Each structure stands twice: as C-alpha cells, then as structure tokens.
C-alpha cells in the first residue's frame, strides 16, 4: 500500500489553534453591548439568519464555560435600516 504522507520532525505545536479571525465579536463585548447580523446572501431568510447566529452564540458560550468563563447572550429579531436580521446582546 502506498503512503502519500510525508512525515515531518521538529515542527512545534502552535499555542493557539484559533488563529483565524472570529466572525462575530462575542469576545469583545461587555454586558449591555449588542451587534446586528443581517443576511449573508440575498435570499437568506430571517429564520436562517437566526439559526446561524444561535449556533455561533451557543458554541461560543459552551467553549467559554469549559474555560470557566461564563458569558451569556440573547438574540432577538431586529430590523435595522429596513434590513431584517437579528440583534445579539451580551447579558452576563
């Protein structure tokens, strides 16, 4: 059986594997801060936006809870400049 993998030696493991920029600013928010999330594409429904934001919000909350840093957020349907989407608030 052929092996198409090259084995490397001496490559250090990165300290933080989350080097890519985060899509939503959860980390930068204080209690009472909020941000608006609109559609990513023309036909994205408000329900799809809500599902996308909820998934990201819940994953962030779970990740921080595992680190012993409890943070809570809530989201509500919102219209901003006639664009339908969701607004997310940090509540804890």
pLDDT at residue 4, as a whole number: 85
Summarised one tens digit per residue, pLDDT across range 29-53 is 999 999 999 999 999 999 999 999 9
- Percentage of residues in the chain with pLDDT exceeding 90? 76
The per-residue DSSP string of 35-89 comes to EEE--SSTT--HHHHHHHHHHHHHHHHHHHHHTT----EEEEEEEETTEEEEEEE
Question: Which residues, 6+ apart, have CB-to-CB distance to 73 below 8 Å?
Answer: 26, 29, 57, 60, 61, 88, 89, 90, 91
pLDDT at residue 53, as a whole number: 95
Domain residue spans of the chain: 29-90
Instruction: Supply the pTM of this predicted model.
Output: 0.75
């Amino acid at each position: 059986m052929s092996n198409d993998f090259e084995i490397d030696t001496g490559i250090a493991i990165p300290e933080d594997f989350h080097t890519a920029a985060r899509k939503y600013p959860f980390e930068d928010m204080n209690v009472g801060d909020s941000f608006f999330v609109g559609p990513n594409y023309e036909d994205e429904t408000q329900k799809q936006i809500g599902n996308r934001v909820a998934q990201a919000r819940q994953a962030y909350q779970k990740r921080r809870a595992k680190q012993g840093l409890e943070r809570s957020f809530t989201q509500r349907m919102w219209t901003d400049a006639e664009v339908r989407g969701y607004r997310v608030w940090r509540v804890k």
